[in-house]
Chains A and B, each alone.
Chain A
C-alpha cells in the first residue's frame, strides 16, 4: 500500500475521534503531517479546534494533491538550520537539493546535520561544486571584460580629473598673472606720468641751456670775428714789417 493510501486510511480512522477530541498520538501524527504539507507548525496547539482545523486542512490538501508531497533528497535533523554566510536566509526542512549541496560543498563536515541524504552525496556535491565553478568562470570572463572597461573608464576619469585640476591651476595662475599685469600697467602708467613731468622739466632746462649756449655761441662768433679781423689786421701789419725787413736785408 502506498504512503498516500496509508495516510488517508489513518486520517479516515481518526475521523471517529474528530468530535470527541484527538488522542495524543493523533495529535503527534497531525503535527508531522501538517508540517510536511504546509511547512509550518500548527498554530496554538493547546486548543482542540486547532487540531480539528489542521485535520480538515490536511485531508483537503491530500485529496487535492492525490499523492504525498515528494520527499526531498536531503532532510535536516530536527533543529538543524542552514544559514548561508553573508545572507539573511535560513533554511529548515524541507530544503532543496541545491541548498543542501551548496552548503555541503562548503562544509562537507556538516553532513551530520542531515537525517537523510543520498548515498552518493559526495559525488553530487562534487558535481554541484564543479558546475558552480564553471558558472563562476563564465561570469568571471564577463566580469573580466566589465572590469577592464571599468578600469579604462576609471583611468580616463582619473586623467580627466587631473586635467581639470591642471586647468584650474592654470586658470588661477592666469588670473594671478593678469592681476600682476594690471598692477604693473598701473605702476607703469603712474611712472610714465612722472617721467613726462620730469622730461618736460628737463626739456625746459635743456632749452634754457640751449638758449644760453646759443647766446654764448653768438658771443663767441662775434669774438671770433673780431679776433679774425684783428688777426687779419695783424697779418697785414706783419707782412708790411716782413717786406720792410726783407727790403732792409736785401
Chain B
C-alpha cells in the first residue's frame, strides 16, 4: 500500500464522436436492501475497481424491480462532489416515483424505504463505447437512505403515488458500474438478482 495517495489523470478528456452520449435513464431499475448484499462474494474488477463484475446477494435474498413510466424516469437522479477536510467525496441522489398506493405499498415499500438502507441499479441510456456505462450502481459503498418521501395528493409529479429521494453521502467513488463480460450477461445476472435464490 502506498504511503501517499496519488491522484493523477490517466486519460484524455474527449467526446465520444462515434457513439455520442445520451442524457437520461431507462424506465426499469432494481433496488436491493443494503444488508442483503453478500459483499464478501461480490467482486470488483481488478484492473478497474469502479466496475463490479459480480453483485451477489445473501442466501434467500432478492432484488426488486423498480419501474417508472414516462419520458424522464428517475428524474432528479444525480451525483455531486462534496468537498471534505481530507478527501472530497460524492453525494448520489436517486429519485423514484412510486405510482401506487395503499396499505400493501405503505407496509412493504414506503415504511421500509423510510428507514432502510438500499442499493439501486439504474440503466443509463448512454451505454458508453464498450457498453460498460449501461448499468450504474448507487449506494454500494455507503448505502442509500431516504431524504424525502412525499405523498402530495395533488402533485402532478407523483400522480397520486409517492415521490421518494434516496441519497448516498460520502461515497469515495464517483461512479460504480455493474458489468460482466457483456450487456446480455449482465442483464442475465440482474434477472437472477430479481429471481432470488
Task: Tell me the A residues contacting B by CB distance below 8 Å.
Answer: 23-25, 31-32, 35-36, 40-41, 44-46, 75-81, 83, 90, 92-93, 110, 112-113, 115-116
Contact = CB atoms under 8 A, between A and B. Distances in A.
Contacts of B191: 35, 40-41, 92
Contacts of B54: 79-81
Contacts of B108: 24-25
A78 B188 contact: no
Contacts of A77: 38, 41, 56-59, 61, 197
B41 to A, nearest CB: 5
29 contacts: A24-B104, A31-B194, A35-B191, A36-B195, A40-B191, A41-B195, A45-B65, A46-B69, A76-B192, A77-B38, A77-B56, A77-B58, A77-B197, A78-B62, A78-B63, A78-B195, A79-B42, A79-B63, A79-B193, A80-B41, A80-B54, A80-B56, A81-B192, A83-B185, A90-B185, A92-B188, A113-B41, A113-B56, A116-B59
Nearest to B108: A24
Contacts of A76: 192, 197
B53 to A, nearest CB: 9
Contacts of A79: 42, 54-57, 63, 189-190, 192-193
Interface string B153-197: 000000000000000000000000000110001001111111111
Contacts of A80: 41, 54, 56, 189, 192
Most A C-beta atoms less than 10 A away, residue of B55, B109, B194, B195: B195
B67 interface: yes
A25 B189 CA distance: 23
Tell me if B's interface is mostly helix, strand, loop or mixed. mixed
B109 A90 contact: no
Contacts of A41: 191, 194-195
A168 to B, nearest CB: 51
Contacts of A35: 191, 194-196
A62 B189 CA distance: 26
B60 interface: yes
Contacts of B197: 75-78, 93, 115-116
A28 B129 CA distance: 36
A40 B65 CA distance: 14
Given A41-B195, A81-B180, A23 B104 contact: yes
Given A31-B195, A75-B197, A79-B193, A45 B67 contact: yes
- Most chain A CB atoms below 10 A, which of B56, B57, B105, B197: B197
A24 B109 contact: yes
Interface in B82-110: 104-105, 108-109
